[in-house]
A and B are shown apart, each in its own frame.
Chain A
Amino acid sequence: MNFFARRHLPALTCWLIGIASGVPSWAEEVGDMWGTAVREREYYRIVNIPISKDLVVEAGAFVTLPDKRIAVGTRRGDLYLVDGVDEEKPSPRYHLFASGMDEIFGLAYKDGAFYVSQSCELTRVTDRNGDGKADRFEVVSDAWGYANYHEYAFGSKFDPQGNLYVALGLSASYHSRALFRGWAMKITPEGKTIPIASGLRSPGGIGPNEHGALFYIESQGPWNSSCSLKFVKQGGFMGHPISYNWYKFAPGMGSPPAQPESGGRIVTEKERVKKLVPYAVIFPYIRMGRSITGFVVNRTKGKFGPFENQMFLGDYTQSIVMRATTEKVNGVWQGACYPFREGLSTGILNVEFTPEGNLLCGGTNRGWPVRGIKPFALERLEWTGRMPFEIERVTITPKGFDLRFTKPVDSVTGDDLKTYKVSTFTHIYHAGYGGPEVDQTTPVVKAVKLSPDGLGATLELGELKRGHVHEFDLGALRSRDKEALLHRHAYYTVNEVPAE
């Protein structure tokens, strides 16, 4: 904002007009999806949550209230309280509680107050006179700079200790020109703001993984060849070195890490750059989303089907929802991602489980390429009660992987080594934007052992490649009722291999 001083007005003017008109000067192909929508609908229905014609609800954040209403914060800065999202045939009521805020990408609720992450600050929003309209907007934290294009702020919900977290995007998505751009901040219940990690690029949602550890979503770009889920380690460096200049303002963070060398691999660079936290779950670009935005852990106690305690993530570009699971190996987080549901109607900016255990998805298609054709939409994914045949999860073992399935697999295909096509790749860790998949290998599948109930398969591989994404293609696998997998792929990022 400090640009607005008198002396450089001409240069500033043309620069700002670019922002204001907001029309991207480029276009990108959005990529094809998995082609599984027709089968997916048998298991997970997409139900439209109608929005009255006179409203624009570009959802950016959700929080479920104690009275089961869902609060929706929007890119246009409105905060709606919506009831009826779970009705069999939704005919929801939208109550405009607050408006005039600046792009809401985080929403939490505590003791009658909303905690809104908007671009400029984290704000406590309350209704003091009880007339149903917010009348007080208190700054909880604005301890970061906000002065450039693309400086988004994604906020979390409360952790068990009452802390909130905010992930701050870089300036113009490449630079760090204002304080703490590219950092993650912790805001304590006392209102103290503590920088906790550097090296973020263009973060999406931030919150706990299924084990309660703090994670955030990173987007493909410089130093990130693909989108990924990353563990926000206290004092850690998340991979993009442009924001080192703020270490002197963060005494608790120590000295800046060594500069990573462009062109290497994370698995080797992390030995040299000690604070570098390896990316926990890599989402192969295009095949698994192009701009992942929000995520939430499924704690619906089975209401949403077989994937309890797993993360569900929305993708903006492809209008899809994916799954992820994580585990800690040798003190390092890693895990797998899986396709889940495609064919949503707009770019997904955030997801939230409703009181009835449906997955509410919302967003817009404004500004960036999006597959779904609606300018904005709210939709809920609901389980039809039918069990899909899916790879439930992949976990690592000292010699290979354990695969779990949602339905018993048949022994003809399940015992056949050829069924398990495993290949690996890694990315170049470099300053360029995105990057190709490199160093491909095809490990030998040496043995497979099905569990007696048919729900598990233990694979022994010739080699596990640290730093590589291990890609599974189980297209040939059949369930005992001869069904093919709904989604044949899974992608496990190996940072560490457990000891025997």
Chain B
Amino acid sequence: MRLFSAILVLPFCLAISSLVAVAAPVVPGLHGKHPLNEAQVGRILLSELNCVACHHGDGHGGLAAKGGPDLSEVGRRVSPHYLSRFIADPAKAQPDVTMPDLLSGKSEEERAEVAEAITHFLVGKASGPFSQTGELDGDAGAGRKLFHEIGCVACHAPRDERGKELPSPGLRSLAHLPQKYSHGSLSDFLFSPHQARPSGRMPDFQLSREETRHLSVYLMGAGAEVSKPLQVRKDLAQKGGAYFKQYNCVSCHAMKGELKGKQSVALAKLRPEHGCLSMNPRNVPDFNFSGTQRKAIVHALAKPKEKVSTKERIELALTRFNCIACHSREAYGGPSKGLLPYLGTSQEGLGNEARMPPPLTLVGAKLKPNWMNKVLFDGESVRPYMHTRMPKFGEDNLRFLPGLLAEVDKVEPMAFPEPPRKERGKIRQVGTQLVGDKGLNCIACHNFNGKESPGFKGLDLITSYERLQPSWFYAFMRNPAALRPGIVMPNYWAGGKGRPDVLEGDAAAQVWSIWHYFSYGQGAHTPSGIHSPGSSLEVDDVVRTYRGRSRIAGYRGIAVGFPGGLNYAFNAETGALSGIWRGEFVSVGWGGQGAGSFNPKSRPVSLAQDLPLYALPNDKAAWPLLPMMNKENPVNPDPLYPKNHGYQFQGYSFDDAFVPTFSYRIGNIEVEDVSLAVAKDDKAILKRTLSFDSGQAGSLHLRALVGKIETVSKTTYQTPDLQLTLSQGTVLLRPFGANGNQELLLKLALPKGKSQWNLEYELLR
């Protein structure tokens, strides 16, 4: 039975909605849960339908006309074919349009003639022609998701799976877009809607270029109509210019080079049964008013109102800009049943708070004035989990609103004084404790200072001090549901009692401690229960080179990772290849003050970090070692080491595969040092080539290995975890330090000019 009636009802609805749509201009805010009486609705219509653009609005609280699109570039933005159809009969081209029919009473032929001339005029004025080159690189699926998710459907009809608009009385249809725009021009419009429509009624969602392409492809569908480019005829354009003046288009539309329009009869002198308001308008703008609209306007005209209260001005503004489609304020506004399913979130566990835009009740007492501006005009937001976006309506359009809200929205004043200096530490500590998992566990549902909550990833608490007024914060904390009915957040001070173990159980002092804690901003301690993830660098299909301090390579350390999972570290201060490891590359310290220090992701084989190349005067001479510094002797006792032994790092360069070659100098000998990872029979081998360029023949020692060295063959040596194979040269193996360690010195006899030495490092674990 139920199914049956649904089937019956659906076509009926469709019929009704199309009937309604054709009949009257749609002002979306008036179809929502607005708080206005009939006269106020009439006043909104006087403004939104631009009546006051031609008729002085004195006596109506200084109503401003909404204004129409800027037409300076319309010839470039809109298809000329559509333009001409639209001008000839706007409601025919776009049934719910607010633009009146200026040609009422004219024959079809006359309409076509005027429309054609004005089109030539408009196209001639634009800086370039309407272009329909090709399809955009956009994804219709992504566009569909955006369209239904970010808030477009608060004012525009949502669509079914096939892209057909669902019957949606009170929402503006976009079915005409394929005839009107090209993919490119729609995308441009969506990127900067206020350029073409300065009224801000179509708000700016701060879409990226990519997003505008997705949306454009989705909204235009395959049906982008091809229209021939228009060759502007001078005579027609001139005639069009005359019509443009005659029909007073500039009263509503900005157009470069055109002066202000002429004024018609003042509002106060209008006779309701005549002119635009008559049942059958002829030779005046025909708005296609519905009966209720006409009645509301007549009512408003009959009851001029000079003084409009602040409260009323806010109500009118929130309705005109349709803020109430998404936001409630006091008893009015808020998402309709039809919109609710489109309000999504990535944090469902946080309930409606996470998916429904916040109520505007007391918002003037809630937000600090600067933050209010940032949200309204600069597009700031703090709820990344909410799919709906807060768009921008234009600073010029809403500049008056923050002041009005601040004037009427009041909560009981509460001052949080700066704690005395010697108390600050304690107060802050209490705040930290309360926010953490051993206190009130706020972080179970809130992110903190850019770090994720272990539970729900709700609004980042660190933003509180920047955004909120202390009095509102206090009232909210003491009873969240009183200010946000239905909120998931509990009242932690029920009955006025705080946690007995801190600040003597004083609820106000505890809230104060949290506020004071938040006032530290980004520098606030991280509360217990929040963990910051480390950063890892990954190697994909090219070699990766990364500089940073590291225990394995010194402060002037460089990590090199090869695709396939062999990595090494190079100490650029000494020229030492100082560590080798398998597997993942490095983790890096990018948290807090972290300067980007790196650590191998697995246990490395460490090699000596002392200067490895040096002309040893004789076999007995000690190797010049890194100067020692420690807590007791922190100052470098040999600050010029290893430069005083001839070493100078010169940098590195990449080949086409981004393999780095390190360059340095030992005295007058130029060295190039390159290592390559070679997979050989499942072994991890690093093949290192040292190339020398020496002005004269001579010798250098390479300190190739230090530790418990075992001789495998004349050219192969190993420590417990590394095997080293040398291509040539004389080896000097001698004791080094205690514990039976040895150092392996390879004597390099360098000819004059270029020479090359190869070493192979094989990991034994």
Contact = CB atoms under 8 A, between A and B. Distances in A.
Contact of A367 (B209, B594, B627): B594
Contacts of A119: 555, 595
Interface in A172-192: 175-179
A139 B651 contact: yes
A301 interface: no
A91 B210 CA distance: 10
A330 interface: no
Interface string B507-550: 00000000000011111111000001000000000001111110
A137 B592 contact: no
B456 interface: no
A3 interface: yes
B547 A21 contact: no
Given A48-B379, A103-B596, A145 B636 contact: yes
A373 B523 CA distance: 11
Interface in B560-601: 571-573, 589-597, 599
B640 interface: yes
B519 A13 contact: no
A21 B639 contact: no
Interface size class of B (residues with CB under 8 A): 35 or more
B62 to A, nearest CB: 21
A135 B554 CA distance: 23
A120 B466 contact: no
Interface stretch (A121-129, A277-285, A391-399, A458-466): A121-129
A30 B523 contact: yes
Contact of A249 (B466, B595, B626, B640): B640
A462 to B, nearest CB: 34
Contact of A100 (B462, B544, B589, B626): B544
B18 to A, nearest CB: 37
Contact of B571 (A1, A3, A24, A76): A1
A370 B531 CA distance: 20
Interface in A130-157: 134-139, 142, 145-148, 151
A482 interface: no
B524 to A, nearest CB: 5
B549 A179 contact: no
Interface in B347-399: 369-370, 373-374, 377-380, 382
B572 A120 contact: yes
Interface in B610-667: 610, 625-631, 634-636, 639-641, 648-656, 658
B554 A2 contact: yes
Contact of A129 (B519, B597, B656): B656
Interface in A66-93: 75-77, 88-89, 91
B523 A19 contact: no
B14 to A, nearest CB: 39
A176 B382 CA distance: 43
Interface string A88-102: 110100000001111
Given A89-B192, A177-B634, A27 B549 contact: no
Contacts of A120: 547, 555-556, 572
A343 B375 CA distance: 13
A11 interface: yes
A175 B460 CA distance: 37
Given A24-B592, A177-B635, A77 B523 contact: no
B522 A13 contact: no
A347 B522 CA distance: 9
B520 A3 contact: no
Contact of A48 (B378, B526, B650, B653): B378
A136 B656 CA distance: 12
19 contacts: A2-B641, A4-B553, A22-B589, A41-B373, A46-B378, A48-B378, A100-B544, A100-B545, A118-B547, A135-B654, A138-B651, A177-B634, A249-B640, A369-B520, A369-B521, A370-B522, A372-B466, A373-B462, A375-B450
Nearest 9 pairs of A and B residues by beta carbon: A369-B523, A1-B554, A22-B594, A367-B593, A22-B592, A1-B555, A179-B639, A370-B522, A138-B651
Interface of A: 1-5, 7-8, 11-13, 15-16, 19-24, 27-30, 37-38, 41, 46, 48, 50, 52, 75-77, 88-89, 91, 99-103, 118-121, 123-124, 128-129, 134-139, 142, 145-148, 151, 171, 175-179, 245-246, 249, 343, 345, 347, 365-373, 375
